Structure 1
Amino acid sequence: MPVYIALLRAVNVGGTGALPMAELKAICGQLGFTDVKTYIQSGNVLFRSNEKEKAVEEKLDEALGKKMGKRPGVMVRTSKELDAIVANAPFPDAKPNFLLVYFLPEKPPADALDKMVAPDGEEAKLATREIYVHYPNGSGRSKLKLPALKPGTSRNLNTVRKLADMAAEMEDKD
């Protein structure tokens, strides 16, 4: 049974979208997902399902919308996709916590970086359904403007690596 990683948008960030991870786990169980595991309080959940990726994404987003009053936005990736995201991370000299992966609901347009304003030397690179952004001074005070990031959710490379490792452990149990 495939292992999926769901990344929730705007959950437990700055006091908005509060969702205890125990509740997220319970919702996933109610949807029929199995081997449910969460990682840190920012809306990362791994599970198994026989359903297709898009169906899983839609079901989880809809269920969370009912719980939270508004759909948060859910980006789902397979274990293989997460491995590739880690393996293909650009900016090899970047500190992993200064390299964010923005997970998007669909492939970004080829011109997605054309409107980027990067006053602090930020760099970005398009991927399949992701945009990698290196923040040389960290993302906290960055004034980066990149409209293509808006529908997505980000995780730093350390978190993405940990999620990939957790998914690989789950895959190994097959």
Structure 2
Amino acid sequence: MSQKTIPFTPLVDSLPAAIPFIGPETLERQRGKPFDARIGANESAFGMSPKAIAAVIEEAPRSAWYGDSLSWPLRAALADHHGVDPDEILIGAGIDALLGNVVRILAGPGAAVVTSAGAYPTFNYHVTGFGAALKTIPYRDDAEDPDALIAEIKETGAPLAYFANPDNPMGTWYDAG
């Protein structure tokens, strides 16, 4: 193993060496064979929708140019559909980047962030990586424990909580009532 030559901040040095999400290709290389089925990465065994393929082909000639960095047409359409202001819509490069932005926006260094012990690993990684204090609540009867999550939010004054509903991987869900 090589010696670290780039000095990182104490916060970065304190992060776990484990990658929060290991892609299926990496796992297949480590196993030395492909998976029989890839069901853990929100992929579709049916491939892309023909309509999506047609849209990509139609837009391909314009792909050499930078897109609208504010994603205004998409934000405006989503806002209109949901009856909200476009400024309330955030477009990102996927769930990992969006969760990182939410943590940065809402939870400063040392702020409590509450989630379940089995929460999305990348969310936990962002919380730790941006210097907030991760508070994890154990599952109760193989499901997230909303009452315990709410109690911890109240106790810590957490500005941010992550609650997956339905929960992945457990598959449990709670209705709004």
State the structure with more CA Rg. Answer: 2
- The structure with more strand, counted as a fraction of residues: 1
TM-score (norm 2): 0.23
- The structure with more helix, counted as a fraction of residues: 2
TM-score (norm 1): 0.23
Q: Which has the higher contact order (CA 8 A, sep 6+)?
A: 1
